[in-house]
């Protein structure tokens, strides 16, 4: 249903009509020929209409909390924290009989209202009147825009998200006036783009692709720096800095060579167009690290630590042995692409025991067990919605554990981590404590709700499973 609301000051370049349903996603680019193309590649809700409707859905919860705190006549000073997520959905072509189908790629952008607090007159502390209990459920995750576009198609993606970005910029500076419980109240929105996997962050923030020397979206480390110093890095990148660096890249004010310039801008090479929060996505962290452990397991089965370059055939044999063992002992079927469920089952003590049966040397088995043990201690910290409550001990020991984990990688597993390290392992070891200190949680801000929503979308479209 539609709700009456207004903005103060009025939003630039957004119509004041609040009774608007699904609109053409390209609306907001003024086109002179025919104003609304019939079959558009994207449909979306107007961002402000969607936010107002989300708040109205929470009306009862908010009013109840206000009554509890004796604040039911508070009219101003409401702050709303919004998590934004965006993800490519891969191929969403419908099932047809016969013939190869053309891949249709889609991207979904959605938001979750994470919390609402109010700073009442005469009070020093803000009171939280709503906190999303299941921030990673597809039920709390509200779709804003659906686009038939390949997430790698930078031009089309920027064109489609352009109007969303400008609407969001306008809303940051303005108050939403909305009637809740018979009283007009004013809300200010704070947007945090955290529900993105690394590929999408790099795309939005103008960084080189994931294989870049510049391994991190949070700091300037190069891959070899990140592998020689695994733990001590602080978060320095930001949307504003990326914009400045893009200007340097574009203008080359010091007339440097390509290599010098690239080193100066640390891998920023396109114009950032959507602000993301420098963070780590818990779901993809899980998946990325599990992929890496899956490879370590193969290397350990083949005793790579004491071999020169093994051949392709040998590697294939180790992988087959690993898959067969996991299937037999854990009923874990091999997957084409690592996914969250496989990752969860692989990163367990029982999985490492099963793998150890194939590892010849006792010493290597102990090292593998210790590595997995440390990982299992670390994981709840970036998975929990509120680590300080849910796993305080692991939170306290995180830096210690990550230090030990790094020592193991650079000694026992040096054959894999000499001058190289994977992007997510670097983030897991170097940046988790700082993000938790800043935001209180990593798990709550993950992309999972949006990813689950993708699954629903596929179901509704009678889709080929990916």
Distance CA 419, CA 66 (A): 55
Q: What percent of the chain has pLDDT over 70?
A: 92
Looking at the predicted structure, is the pLDDT value of residue 233 above 50?
yes
List Cα–Cα distances, 402 to 225, 420, 421, 456, in angstroms. Answer: 17, 17, 14, 37
Parse the chain into domains and list their residue ranges.
5-31+38-196+450-460, 204-265, 282-446
The most confident of 40-44, 155-159, 166-170, by mean pLDDT:
166-170
How big is the chain by its Cα radius of gyration, in Å? 24
User: Mean pLDDT over residues 39-43, rounded?
Assistant: 75
Distance CA 221, CA 126 (A): 38
Residue 122, preceding bond cis, omega within 30 degrees? no
Q: In this structure, are strands 183-195 and 78-91 parallel, antiparallel, or unpaired?
A: parallel
Q: How far apart are the first and last CA of the chain?
A: 34
Residue 9, preceding bond cis, omega within 30 degrees? yes
Task: Write down the pLDDT at residue 40.
Answer: 64
Looking at the predicted structure, is the pLDDT value of residue 34 above 60?
no
Looking at the predicted structure, is the pLDDT value of residue 10 above 70?
yes
pTM: 0.88
Looking at the predicted structure, is the pLDDT value of residue 466 above 90?
no
Angle between helices 258-265 and 239-251 (to 10 degrees): 170
Task: Write down the pLDDT at residue 122.
Answer: 79
The pLDDT-based confidence of 31 (bands split at 50, 70, 90) is low
CB 205 within 8 A of CB 457: no
The pLDDT-based confidence of 33 (bands split at 50, 70, 90) is very low
Task: Write down the pLDDT at residue 42.
Answer: 86
CB 347 within 8 A of CB 379: yes
Distance CA 16, CA 373 (A): 56
Dihedral sign (CA 430, 302, 359, 415): negative
Task: Write down the pLDDT at residue 22.
Answer: 86
Task: Give 450 or 180, the one with higher predicted confidence.
Answer: 180
**pLDDT, averaged across the chain:** 91
Report pLDDT digits (tens) over 292-326: 999 999 999 999 999 888 999 999 999 999 999 99
Report pLDDT digits (tens) over 320-352: 999 999 999 999 999 999 999 999 999 999 999
Distance CA 4, CA 401 (A): 53
CA angle 186, 190, 196 (to 5 degrees): 145
CB 287 within 8 A of CB 338: yes
Distance CA 235, CA 442 (A): 14
Report pLDDT digits (tens) over 99-148: 556 667 889 999 999 999 999 887 888 999 999 999 999 889 999 999 88
Report pLDDT digits (tens) over 363-403: 999 999 999 999 999 999 999 999 999 999 999 999 999 99
CB 191 within 8 A of CB 47: no
Report pLDDT digits (tens) over 431-444: 999 999 999 999 99
Task: Write down the pLDDT at residue 291.
Answer: 97
User: Mean pLDDT over residues 241-251, rounded?
Assistant: 98
Tokens of 319: 């992988």
Distance CA 149, CA 43 (A): 12
Q: Nearest Cα to 439, choosing from 165, 81, 189? A: 81
Q: Nearest Cα to 87, choosing from 447, 457, 465? A: 447
Looking at the predicted structure, is the pLDDT value of residue 153 above 50?
yes
Helix spans in 331-465 (H) = 340-346, 349-356, 362-383, 387-390, 392-410, 423-430, 432-439, 448-460
Task: Write down the pLDDT at residue 97.
Answer: 58
**What is the total residue count of the chain?**
466
Report pLDDT digits (tens) over 53-99: 999 999 999 999 999 999 999 888 899 999 999 998 877 776 665 55
């Amino acid at each position: 249903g539609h709700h009456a609301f207004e903005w103060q000051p009025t939003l630039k370049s957004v119509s004041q009509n609040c009774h608007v349903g699904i609109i053409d996603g390209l609306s907001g680019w003024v086109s002179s020929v025919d104003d609304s193309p019939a079959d558009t590649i994207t449909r979306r809700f107007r961002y402000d209409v969607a936010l107002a409707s989300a708040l109205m859905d929470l009306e009862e919860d908010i009013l109840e909390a206000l009554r509890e705190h004796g604040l039911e006549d508070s009219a101003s000073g409401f702050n709303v924290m919004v998590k934004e997520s965006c993800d490519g959905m891969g191929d969403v072509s419908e099932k047809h009989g016969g013939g190869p189908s053309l891949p249709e790629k889609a991207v979904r952008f959605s938001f979750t209202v994470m919390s609402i607090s109010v700073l009442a007159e005469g009070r020093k502390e803000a009171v939280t009147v709503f906190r999303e209990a299941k921030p990673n459920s597809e039920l709390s995750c509200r779709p804003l825009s659906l686009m038939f576009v390949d997430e790698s198609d930078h031009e089309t993606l920027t064109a489609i998200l352009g109007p969303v970005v400008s609407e969001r910029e306008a809303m940051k500076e303005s108050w939403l006036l909305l009637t809740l419980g018979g009283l007009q109240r004013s809300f200010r929105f704070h947007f945090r783009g955290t529900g993105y996997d690394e590929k999408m962050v790099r795309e939005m923030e103008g960084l080189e692709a994931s294989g870049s020397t510049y391994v991190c979206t949070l700091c300037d480390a190069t891959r070899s720096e990140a592998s020689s110093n695994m733990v001590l890095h602080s978060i320095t990148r930001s949307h504003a800095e990326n914009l400045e660096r893009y200007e340097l890249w574009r203008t080359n004010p010091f007339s440097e060579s390509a290599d010098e310039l690239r080193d100066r801008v640390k891998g920023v090479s396109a114009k950032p167009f959507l602000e993301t929060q420098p963070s780590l996505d818990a779901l993809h962290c899980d998946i990325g690290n599990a992929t890496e452990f899956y490879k370590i397991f193969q290397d350990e089965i083949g005793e790579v630590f004491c071999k020169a370059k093994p051949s392709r055939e040998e590697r294939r044999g180790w992988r087959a042995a690993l898959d067969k063992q996991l299937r037999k002992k854990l009923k874990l079927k091999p997957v084409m692409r690592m996914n969250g469920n496989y990752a969860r089952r692989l990163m367990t003590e029982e999985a490492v025991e099963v793998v150890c049966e194939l590892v010849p040397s006792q010493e290597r088995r102990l090292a593998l067990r210790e590595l997995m043990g440390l990982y299992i201690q670390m994981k709840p910290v970036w998975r929990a919605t509120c680590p300080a409550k849910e796993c305080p001990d692991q939170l306290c020991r995180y830096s210690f554990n990550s230090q030990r984990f790094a020592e193991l990688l650079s000694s026992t597993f040096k054959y894999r981590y000499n001058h190289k390290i994977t992007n997510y392992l670097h983030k897991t070891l170097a940046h988790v404590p700082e993000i938790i200190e800043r935001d209180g949680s990593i798990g709550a801000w993950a992309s999972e709700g949006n990813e689950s929503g993708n699954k629903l979308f596929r179901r509704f479209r009678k889709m080929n499973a990916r």
